[in-house]
Structure 1
């Protein structure tokens, strides 16, 4: 059995993780530990505090006791707001505290886009435009071409967590760009685990979502691979066919 650990801020879409575990259908177990979110706000200062070393360290011992073999900070905005170097420092500090291989959702997106072998991306973010722009800069620094960025102006993770399939699909469609090879939806507060096949069918291209790539990144850290068609092209490497 492979046990994977996730530090998840607050409570919004954490039920994606048992759903993903079910879709993986293997001897893979996903252990989620909640961190204190502090102020629930998609604002740079609040996001930096949410991703601070002290808040992350508070959940590390519980993950260690669970037998996790790797840990991922399951938050996109709480990592890319530090910039690429700051996000690397954040992951390094987490790895030292946990004594485990570590990463974050921001790096998970970069690695997942690389895994698909593409360069041109479109971003559909729930965040305000300034925060969405920081994610775009993070990906540009990682060597990708960001063709479009669509922000939604939502301030709280609590509101994002109320979105259903219709809202997620509308965001993905609005964000898409005809030359983009993949569409990215970067918010772990957004429920997407049950919608990936329909999202990819509607857009006719891979769609990467925050909780999906977070689990994939943990598998990468432990040198595991899983074939799970219900989790989209990232987990099958098959090109989606437009409905």
Structure 2
């Protein structure tokens, strides 16, 4: 019998990462996939988000009621449970604004509720991951660049979230770019951070919002500016890998910021 040389078939996983996303948003999956090594696989579940329409269209400023409704039972609970029925290593919530509305204590209650549906699979979300990332990098002065579809009140709630976690927020606000996912380019986002955030001299900046195109600018900005650059999907994926016990896979990732050369304090976090 001749030896069979098998091609890669997607079963050779170092880690399998589940991600819950709004029904019309491809951002988290796209950016996770761009960052992921060949042996890390992404598996998504979708939850209806009333502020988005077919094709990813949404209002210039998203209303807050759908943001809160996204994390209310039963839809997100069911989505997490369905993902957790698969042999995954971690589940990530690819949504930022709900944590802003809930606050840190409300987000913890959400995690506690969803943990009853995960079969013990670790769970993380963007803001919790950002707190872990800031801490791992030793960043205390932080700037938060929010998507243009966040209004000033939602941005303020985000600043409150990070202030409650002990960080000094030196700048926050929706970026002044077109409020349309398809119109945000790496150059435009880079220019905004360079001209609007750099003078505040943060230790790190977070480009929040999992639907904003952002991971492609990290490396160039960190080379130019004297602070770490975190983005919603980058830090969420980094934290997910460490929770999955795949820190070695995370350390092999290059081109997406100094964060991937850093481990959470205490290992898994």
TMscore range, shorter length: 0.7 to 0.9
In the alignment, what sits opposite 1:241? Answer: none
Contact kept? 2:81, 2:118, Cα under 8 Å = yes
TM (normalized to structure 1)? 0.87
Cα deviation digits, residues 146-177 of structure 1 (max 9, x gap): 11113237896xx2353110222133222334
In the alignment, what sits opposite 1:172? Answer: 193
**2:214 match: secondary structure:** coil
* Shift in Å, 1:69: 1.7
Residue 89 in structure 1 maps to residue 109 in structure 2: yes
**1:133 match: secondary structure:** helix
In the alignment, what sits opposite 1:140? Answer: 163
Residue 213 in structure 1 maps to residue 213 in structure 2: no
- For residues 33-48 of structure 1, the aligned pairs below 5 Å read 33-40=45-52, 42-48=62-68
Unaligned runs of 5+ in 1: 238-243
In the alignment, what sits opposite 2:21? Answer: 8
**2:215 match: secondary structure:** coil
**1:98 match: secondary structure:** coil
2:98 to 78, 99, 113: 78
Residue 231 in structure 1 maps to residue 256 in structure 2: yes
Residue 20 in structure 1 maps to residue 43 in structure 2: no
Contact kept? 2:100, 2:154, Cα under 8 Å = no
* Shift in Å, 1:35: 1.6
How far apart, CA to CA, are the structure 1 residues paired with 2:85 and 2:117? 13
Contact kept? 1:12, 1:160, Cα under 8 Å = no
Q: How many residues align?
A: 232
* Shift in Å, 1:48: 0.4
In the alignment, what sits opposite 1:112? Answer: 133
Unaligned runs of 5+ in 2: 1-13, 53-60, 263-269
Cα–Cα, structure 1 residues 235 and 154, in superposed 2: closer, same or farther, change >3 Å?
A: same
Runs of 4+ in 1 over 6 A off after TM superposition: 153-156
Cα RMSD of the aligned pairs, angstroms, is: 2.0
Cα–Cα, structure 1 residues 161 and 143, in superposed 2: closer, same or farther, change >3 Å?
A: farther
Contact kept? 2:146, 2:173, Cα under 8 Å = yes
**1:33 match: secondary structure:** strand
Residue 196 in structure 1 maps to residue 209 in structure 2: no
How far apart, CA to CA, are the structure 2 residues paired with 1:160 and 1:52? 25
Cα–Cα, structure 1 residues 220 and 161, in superposed 2: closer, same or farther, change >3 Å?
A: farther
**1:81 match: secondary structure:** helix
**1:189 match: secondary structure:** coil
In the alignment, what sits opposite 1:125? Answer: 146
In the alignment, what sits opposite 1:163? Answer: 184
How far apart, CA to CA, are the structure 2 residues paired with 1:147 and 1:193? 22
* Shift in Å, 1:55: 2.4
* Shift in Å, 1:210: 0.3
* Shift in Å, 1:12: 4.0
Contact kept? 1:121, 1:147, Cα under 8 Å = yes
Cα–Cα, structure 1 residues 78 and 84, in superposed 2: closer, same or farther, change >3 Å?
A: same
* Shift in Å, 1:63: 1.5
How far apart, CA to CA, are the structure 2 residues paired with 1:234 and 1:138? 21
How far apart, CA to CA, are the structure 2 residues paired with 1:161 and 1:74? 18
